[in-house]
């Protein structure tokens, strides 16, 4: 199973816990709770972390008297997996449509540096045959 497919199969609560871990780095159950909007109970987060660990998305170390949880997937890989799932789900797999939608989202004028960076990424993709 690919990383993107595995992450796409997370429940809403599992995704919230993973987002909390990606947002702030390794954390105890209490710290995960603090990072969540509208958090569930302590025992619910602890159980969710245990499920995520069984699925291979999270691992832990023992620090003092607490477990310190962290994602097994690097943040960059997680971002790519999440974006791939978003493109597959909402844009019928079309990267072009997703990119166009992202560019239309902002009412503000894009800074020249952003335009240059996007142009460079497009050129690189063309050179790589993508």
Determine the Cα–Cα distance for residues 27 and 121; give it in Å rounded to an integer: 34
Q: Over the Cα atoms of the chain, what is R_g?
A: 18
Does domain 3-71 fall into CATH 1.10.10.10?
A: yes
CA 76 to chain centre: 8
Q: CA 3, CA 18: separation in Å to the nearest integer?
A: 14
**pLDDT tens digit sequence for 42-54:** 999 999 999 999 9
Kindly report, residue by residue over 76-122, the tens digit of the pLDDT: 888 888 888 889 999 999 988 998 888 888 767 888 898 899 899 88
Please give the sequence-ordered ranges of beta strands (E in DSSP) within 32-118, or none if there are none.
Answer: 58-63, 66-71
Q: Are β-strands 66-71 and 58-63 bridged in parallel, bridged antiparallel, or unpaired?
A: antiparallel
Residue spans of the domains in the chain: they are 3-71, 94-130
When pLDDT is cut at 50, 70 and 90, the band that residue 6 belongs to is low
Secondary structure letter of residue 63 according to DSSP: E
Residue 71 dihedral angles phi and psi, to the nearest 5°: -70, 150
pLDDT at position 114 is 86
- The CA distance from 23 to 21, in Å, is 5
- Helix spans in the chain (H): 3-8, 12-24, 29-35, 42-55, 75-90, 95-105, 112-127
Give the C-alpha separation, 83 to 95, whole Å: 10
């Amino acid at each position: 199973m690919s990383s993107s497919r595995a992450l796409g199969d997370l429940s809403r609560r599992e995704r919230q816990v993973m987002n909390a871990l990606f947002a702030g780095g390794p954390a105890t159950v209490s710290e995960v709770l603090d990072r969540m909007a509208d958090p569930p109970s302590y025992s619910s987060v602890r159980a969710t972390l245990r499920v995520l660990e069984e699925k291979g998305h999270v691992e832990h170390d023992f620090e003092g008297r607490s477990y310190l949880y962290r994602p097994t997937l690097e943040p960059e890989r997680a971002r790519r997996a999440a974006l791939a799932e978003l493109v597959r789900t909402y844009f019928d797999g079309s990267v072009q449509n997703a990119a166009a939608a992202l560019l239309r989202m902002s009412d503000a004028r894009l800074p020249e540096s952003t335009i240059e960076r996007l142009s460079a990424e497009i050129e690189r993709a063309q050179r790589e045959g993508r």
